[in-house]
Every structure is written in structure tokens, then in C-alpha cells.
Structure 1
């Protein structure tokens, strides 16, 4: 064989080896895709501590995932952060309910400025519960929480959908900062955003009220913004195809100084279970507050005989996580956008976590 022919053959062999090597490298890269973490989707995790649905405190959830409770998914148009909580499991602090939720690592006072914005969609609420219990089939997707004294909640944003309904309701709560040392008499006042408020329940355990006409479906996006400044909380709720709703609430001066100031809604819901307190005159003015965001499941397995508003009597399978997920007995919320403003006057919230972890 001529030398020129040998050179040509060798050249073809080398090209074949290179091509094969490239193919092998490509296959190897495709087999190990890069993990997309929640902190890649919403880059604000330096400001939060993550609590999981098993009661554990993760701390800062940077480059973190847990496939049972907290991870990312991609739909046809976006990447989302998934927060998931069963009806029963180990809980954080003194709560009866599980949560996979971010808690702000600093606290601030209502006379300063604090802001939180989020875009989300609720993907699941519990498939079981007592329809006469207001908390059944509900999940809290955003909060302001007090870090001090009674540790009450001047804001809770709910989504609730009864089984068999296409549309659910979005509503928000103000919980009084109870006067005195006995916090057992605290209560919530509920305001409807789209659909019904907290007070609309079934006529018996398995009979549901009429479906709301202006509700939000599972998987339908909506947004909320919370702006606290000079003691006034302003809430704005938006969703495509729905009327934008705005609310304001004074956090430093009570509307509930006497029982004559309390609404009929509260008297009907909470007075029968002994929750009939009044609020301190300056409400939350002297208390450090902080934001929460995520999936705080309101449905639990406790008997309604304990509390007709908050104990759902739902299926929990003795806390078996896999069984609860298989049967729809959990809450799941997806976020794709969120933003927080932290006041320069905010201070460490570590004391709250030390008390409640």
C-alpha cells in the first residue's frame, strides 16, 4: 500500500475514534442533569429559615432539596418551588398542623417598613375532613407572625376548596393580639378575597356549601403583596381574569377594644368554643413581627370535639407519609416568584426559633 493511502486510512481511523469519544461524553453528560434548586428559582433564601413537614428546621435552604417536602418542578412554561405538607406528622413549635414553610430570619416592628410579594398556585388540599370544620380542606400560603409574647398572627392568607368543587376560595385572617396573659381566648376575623370567607362551612360532616362563583381553581395562579409601613398593613391580591382586591388594616391600634366592637362572624364562630377575648389597645405595636411563606396545612386528624373551628378529623393513616400522599391527604403549593424587603431596622429572629425548634 502506498504511503499516501496509509495516511488516509489512519486519518479516517482517528476521526472515528474522536467521534466515538464525543458521543460517549455527550451520553454521560445527558445522564447526569444539573439539579435545579429552589434557591436557583427564587434567589432570596439568605433571608429565611426553612421548616419542613416533618417538623425539622433546615435553616437557610440554599442548594437544598427534600423530595418529600421541598423541591422544584418544571411545567410547560416555568420552573416552580414545591412546598408539600401531609395532614399529620411531626409539627414545629406548638402547632397542631404540619408545615413546609419559610420563616423570616429577622423580625421587624410595624412602625417600620416591611414588604413581601409572591406568585403561586395551590395544587392540592386535603381530600378528607369534616365539612362543618372551617379549617378543613384549607392551606395557609403566607403569614405575618409575631415573634414575641403570645406569638399571634396579624395576617394569614388562606386557600380552601371543598371536595367535588372546581373552584376554591382565597381569604385572609387577622388574629387579635389578646389582652392579658391568657391567650386561649384569641380569635380570627376572616375577609373574603375571591369566593367565600372562613365562616362558610358544610351543613354536616359530608355535605358541602354551594361552590363559589368567583373562586380560584387548583393550579390557577394568583399573587399577593403585603406592605407594612407606619403601622398600616396593605394587602393587594391579583389574578388574571379576577378583580384585583385591596385591603388595609391598622396593626398598632385595635378595632376590638370591647366585645361590642366584635363582629357577628366572630361571635357565631368563636364565642361558642370559649374564644371571646378582646385585644390590647396598641395591637401589635410593641412586638417584633416576621413573614412566613409556603404551605401550612390547616387540615389535621384531631377530633372536631376538641375545637369545631380548627380540628378537622381528617384521614392521617397514623402519620404514614406515603399513604397520605397516595390518598390525597396533604397540601401542596407551588411558587415561582417571590420578593422580600428587609428593613435596615430589622433584628435577629433567632430567639423565636430557639423557643420553637
Structure 2
């Protein structure tokens, strides 16, 4: 009879064991559910990704980046106060289209005439530019953070917004480029004209491979916010740049009537940079008036591993570790740009830009 008296106790212990086991299982699953709930996608930070295809730093077209991330190139982070969208591109890897440079960049799904209305605004901070590169090469240590690109003809670029900082400097430069829409069928003689926003322009380079010019007094540091506003209307491109603690700068450029139609029109800056390497073309009289244009935004790394002997302006001779992305990230040979806000507007006359992606993907 005594043995029977242990049965209730045994049953109670078994029940406690079952409850404890279920409780432990639930606790193990909770972190996974919690992690999923905490994922912040870029499309939740800047809700405009249905306007773009995302090109990644491995040359692939990821399409519209809705609820998407790729931890090597495109993801979100928080700086302790706000969420940011991170665009990251190594010095070398697979590239998109015919470019020699890697990019993690948005490319607009529609194209539009410069005679209609289009706007792009963004607030960003550049977090890294390549640690290596020949200082005599104008593109070394720089990244393009916004563009207007042509979808037609030579596919030239009436706007590229650059950030550039030399190693050892605290402050870098922000400047913008206009690329001529070369007359004729040969685009090999195209060139850019660079305009300073804060700091120096593209033409300020080192005297030797590893020597650097003076640091710009009015420059922008890595991690320092700045904003750009681009508007195209009735053939005129208007630009506005602002940053806390810096003078706001505004510019305008005619996109439908060229000022570079003869050799005599080539500016002194171009004569120093591009003419010596055979890039001395002239522009068609109507510039970009007959071509569809579209916006780009992100990190288009301008530093690459190609020999400066190929092109003294664009081939940096930087460290690439044979294209190994992880090794490039480990020793600073990459571009990284964080965006906090962005907005885009185009008129109802804009049409599909699929032809550009068909040619370049």
C-alpha cells in the first residue's frame, strides 16, 4: 500500500518536467522571432525604391529593392540616432555594363527628356573612399554619389556628383562634373568639366604617386552630412548643395545648347587634364536635347586597379587583392556611402528605361 502513495508525487514531478521542457523550447525560439521583427530594410528607411533598379557591387541587377538587403553591398544601419541606407562598392569585382568601376547604385526605371521636369533630392554622408591609388590620377580616392545619365546615344553623363579625400587628410572635396555629349560617332574623345562645391575640383592631384596636395580648408569630412538637390526643367539643370556649417552653393547648366562646339571652346582645365591623353572632342550643338535621361544614386567607386599608364585620369592602380571583396574591405580599399533621405519626381511624360538595362545588364 505504501508504494501507491508515491504515485501522486511522481505524477506531479512529471507534470513539472513537461512544463519546464515546453518553457525551454519557447525560450529558444523567441530570439529568432525577435530578430526577424527587428530587420529594417532600405525601403522602410527611404520609401522610393519602386522607382529604381538596384545594381550591386558584383555587377548584378537586383531589381527594385523592396524589402531587400545584401550584406556585402546594400543594407541598413543605425548611427545611434537614425537609420541609414548603406551602399558599398570594392575597388575591383564584376562591373555593370561597360564600366571599369564597381558600383552599388540605384538606376531609374524611367527616362525623361531634359525639356520636361525631373527632380532628385538626397541627404548622405560618405564613410569611406579607397585607402590606395595613384595620387596623380584624378579619380583616385573618389566616389560618385549621384548622377544624371543618358540612356541613348553614347550614354554619356551630364552630371556626376563626386566626393574625394586623399589619405591622411581629415577633409575631402565635393565637386560635380559635366561630360560633353560628343559630336560624331567616336566617343573616345569625350571629356568632363569639373566644378568645385566645397574644397577642390577633380584637377587637383598629387605631384607624385604617394604625395598629396594641401588639404582643402573648406572641405567635408568623412561622416559629415551634406545634401544635394537636382532639378531639370525646360532644358536647364539647377543644382543646390547644402551642409550644416558650410556655405550653400547653387549652380545651373544648359543641357540642350552646348558651349563646347569648337576646339577653341575647350576650357583650360580640360586642356591640362584630358587633351594630353587624346580626349579633345567637341560637343554636338544641341547637347543632350534629343536623348532620354535618368537619375542614379548610390556609391559608384571611381578608384580601380587598372594601370595609370592606360589612362592618367581614370585608372588608379589601386590595391584590389585580385578582386577578393573581403580582403578589400579589410584594408579600406572600397567606397561606402550612407543615405538618410531621398525623393524623386518625374513628369508624366517619362517612359520606360528598359532599353538601357537590356543593353547593359
Q: With the length of structure 2 as denominator, give the TM-score of the two structures.
A: 0.92
Q: Would the alpha carbon gap of residues 28 and 224 (structure 1) be closer, same or farther in structure 2, given more than 3 Å must change?
A: closer
Matched, 1:155 2:159: yes
User: Following superposition of structure 1 onto structure 2, how do residues 231-310 of structure 1 map, counting pairs within 5 Å?
Assistant: 231-310=235-314
Pairwise CA RMSD of aligned residues? 1.9
Which residue number in structure 1 is paired with residue 145 of structure 2?
A: 141
Q: Secondary structure at the match of 1:183?
A: coil
Q: Would the alpha carbon gap of residues 103 and 28 (structure 1) be closer, same or farther in structure 2, given more than 3 Å must change?
A: closer
Residues 17-74 of structure 1 deviation map (CA, whole Å, 9 limit, x = unaligned) = 79x69x9486664454431111111111111000000000011111110000000001
Which residue number in structure 2 is paired with residue 130 of structure 1?
A: 134
Measure the CA separation in 2 of the matches of 1:202 and 1:335: 30
Matched, 1:45 2:49: yes
Matched, 1:217 2:195: no
Matched, 1:114 2:118: yes
| Cα displacement (A) at 1:143 | 0.1
Residues 108-140 of structure 1 deviation map (CA, whole Å, 9 limit, x = unaligned) = 000000000000000000000000000000000
Measure the CA separation in 2 of the matches of 1:105 and 1:85: 21
Which residue number in structure 1 is paired with residue 173 of structure 2?
A: 169
Residues 266-304 of structure 1 deviation map (CA, whole Å, 9 limit, x = unaligned) = 001000000000100000000000000000000000000
Which residue number in structure 1 is paired with residue 80 of structure 2?
A: 76
Q: Secondary structure at the match of 2:145?
A: strand
Q: Secondary structure at the match of 1:128?
A: coil
Matched, 1:315 2:319: yes
Which residue number in structure 1 is paired with residue 349 of structure 2?
A: 345
Which residue number in structure 1 is paired with residue 107 of structure 2?
A: 103
Q: Would the alpha carbon gap of residues 260 and 27 (structure 1) be closer, same or farther in structure 2, given more than 3 Å must change?
A: closer
Which residue number in structure 1 is paired with residue 94 of structure 2?
A: 90
Selected match of 1:186 from 190, 193, 201? 190
Residues 188-214 of structure 1 deviation map (CA, whole Å, 9 limit, x = unaligned) = 000000000000000000000000000
Measure the CA separation in 1 of the matches of 2:47 and 2:309: 43
Measure the CA separation in 1 of the matches of 2:178 and 2:334: 25
Selected match of 1:63 from 57, 61, 67? 67
Measure the CA separation in 1 of the matches of 2:360 and 2:30: 49
Measure the CA separation in 2 of the matches of 1:249 and 1:153: 13
Selected match of 1:329 from 325, 330, 333? 333
Residues 76-107 of structure 1 deviation map (CA, whole Å, 9 limit, x = unaligned) = 11000000000000000000000000000000
Q: With the length of structure 1 as denominator, give the TM-score of the two structures.
A: 0.93
Figure out how many residues of one structure are paired with residues of the other and give that number.
344
Runs of at least 5 residues in structure 2 that lack an aligned partner in the other structure: 1-14
